[in-house]
Amino acid sequence: MPHVLPEPGALFELSADRIRRAAAEEWPGEPMTLGAHVPSVTGYVRRVHLAGRELFAKDSVLGLSLVSVLRGVAGDGGRVRAAQAAYATSPTSLLAREAAQLRALDAAGIRVGRCAGYRRGVLFTEAVTGPSLLDLITKEPARTADLMTGAVRGLAALQSPAVVAAVDAAPIAERGIDTTFRRKFNGISGRAYVAWLGFEQLDERTRRGVVAVLGAVVARLLKLRLTPAPGPRLVVYGDLKPEHVLFPDGPDEQNPVFIDPGLSRGGAHQDNAKLVSRALLAVLTATPVHRAALVVEGIDAFTQDQARLIGRGERRMWLRRLMITWLMDSVNILSTYLAAPASLPLPEHARAVVDAAPALCTVLDSVSANLTAGTDPDVVWRLALASVTRAAVR
């Protein structure tokens, strides 16, 4: 019998039904209506209107990305449905851990989209409105360095004893950039995965070029193994991208609000690398060309300031780790979008990333080749920023 892939409509209706039942149990007797579906490649997210307040409801299907589920990684629709029934009740499910992390962050004084409830594997969080860090960088490029620094400053309490204890009890290590990269591109299956990327998103000529470059970049990154950073492994936010840093009180507020944590232990470079990676991606996809140079200058100033916090003898290695992690993150997100079935609604910026795939691959190819050649990290960094600026101008 042929393998039948899960059908998006049926999968989403199951998630919507789980959200309805979870809300009824969490807030019995309170009226609830489902609002708009929020496109995502990771989980099923809906706006929820509950007794006069707006929440976000998130359902994670087996802790996997929706792209993986719809591509059949967990089997057909029947197998997914049966496995999800057990997964949703597990105290170690992804969203159970995220709920615990949100509560720990809130208790430590870090502003987050608070956990409003958790039931039946469904996480409900308070809605946060206002511009994101990505929005502000795009609109006010001269403030890029200060805005990125403010995001890092807002997470100063990550190393507080209560947060550390919560992370050690329930980490979300699977959201780590290196972990995701190694999982995706492991051995023969990883090469096969790269080979069929882009069939539904790119014309054949563009697809062949992108696949060839991505294959070479992945091969280099698998050889550029990240040696463990010296010293204790810190608590890292894990998914610190500009879209997850919000300014509900306006662009001048000093303490932003954070959403979608993926706390775990890691090196000091990891959160900086995620911010840098997604900010540089924005230069290629969302930033007007005439502002691109200003954003790149701000990213450089932010990175140099962060490097000064590292011991002098470790700065070059820290910068090398940051660049390798940046490349891995860019490959992760681009490959996810290129693997997404056409039937899956994608976030608004995803189309821009796919359209920018050739330019992004040019940057990844250049930087990974220089790192593989053993070029001094400071020189590679300068060349990398120049390549981003050139690609943006095109």
Average pLDDT for the chain? 91
For residue range 316-345, what is the model confidence (pLDDT) as tens digits? 999 999 999 999 999 999 999 999 998 899
- Distance set, CA 383 to CA 130, 291, 323, 364, 367 (Å): 35, 19, 12, 11, 8
Q: Is the pLDDT of residue 249 over 80?
A: yes
Report which of 285, 311, 265 is spatially closest to residue 363, judged by C-alpha positions: 285
287 pLDDT band, cuts 50/70/90, is confident
> Quick one: which of 284, 264, 289 has its CA closest to 349?
284
Tell me the per-residue pLDDT of 121-159, one tens digit each, with 9 for 90 and over: 999 999 998 999 999 999 999 999 999 999 999 999 999
Count Cβ atoms within 10 A of the Cβ of residue 297 and give its class: 0-12 exposed, 13-18 middle, 19 or more buried.
middle
277 vs 230, which has greater pLDDT? 277
- Say if residue 188's pLDDT is above 50: yes
Report how far residue 158's alpha carbon sits from residue 236's, in angstroms, rounded to the nearest whole number: 7
In a 3-state reduction of DSSP, which class is residue 74? coil
Q: 2 in the Ramachandran plot: left (φ > 0), alpha (ψ -120 to 50) or beta? A: beta
Give the confidence band of 3 by pLDDT, cuts at 50, 70, 90: low
pLDDT class of 290 with cuts at 50, 70, 90:
confident
Query: How confident is the model over 294-300, as a mean pLDDT?
Result: 96
The separation between CA 246 and the C-alpha centre of its own chain, rounded to angstroms, equals 15
Query: Looking at 237-241, 270-274, 346-350, which range is the least confident one?
Result: 346-350
Give Cα 102 to chain centroid, integer Å.
17
Question: What is the C-alpha separation between 58 and 42, in angstroms, rounded?
Answer: 10
Q: Looking at the DSSP assignment, which residues form a beta bridge with residue 264?
A: 236
What is the dihedral angle through the alpha carbons of 32, 38, 40, 43, rounded to the nearest 10 degrees? 0
Q: How confident is the model at residue 1 (pLDDT cuts 50, 70, 90)?
A: very low
Beta-sheet strands, E only, within the chain: 32-38, 44-50, 53-59, 115-119, 122-126, 234-236, 245-246, 257-258, 264-266
The span from the CA of 335 to the CA of 350, in Å, is 11
199 close to 354: Cβ distance less than 8 angstroms = no
Alpha-carbon gap, residue 385 to 85, rounded angstroms = 47
Scored b (16 or more CB within 10 A) or e, 253-292 reads eeebbbbbbbbbbbbbbbbbbbbbbbbbbbbbbbbeeebb
User: What b/e string do you get for 9-30 counting C-beta neighbours within 10 Å, with b at 16 or more?
Assistant: eebbebbbebbbebbeebbeee
Per residue in 346-390, pLDDT (tens digit) is 988 899 999 999 999 999 999 999 999 999 999 999 999 999 999
User: For position 132, what pLDDT does the model report?
Assistant: 94
Q: Is the pLDDT of residue 189 over 80?
A: no
Q: What is the pLDDT of residues 76-131, one digit of tens each?
A: 888 999 999 899 999 999 999 999 999 999 999 999 999 999 999 999 999 998 99
How far is Cα 67 from Cα 337, in angstroms, rounded to an integer?
8
Query: Of the given ranges (1-5, 29-33, 309-313), which has the lowest mean pLDDT?
Result: 1-5
pLDDT at 229: 63
- Three-state SS for 50? strand
What's the residue count for the chain? 394
d(CA 268, CA 245): 19
**Distance separating alpha carbons of residues 203 and 196, to the nearest angstrom:** 13
Band (pLDDT 50/70/90 cuts) for residue 228 is low
Mean pLDDT value of segment 52-73: 92
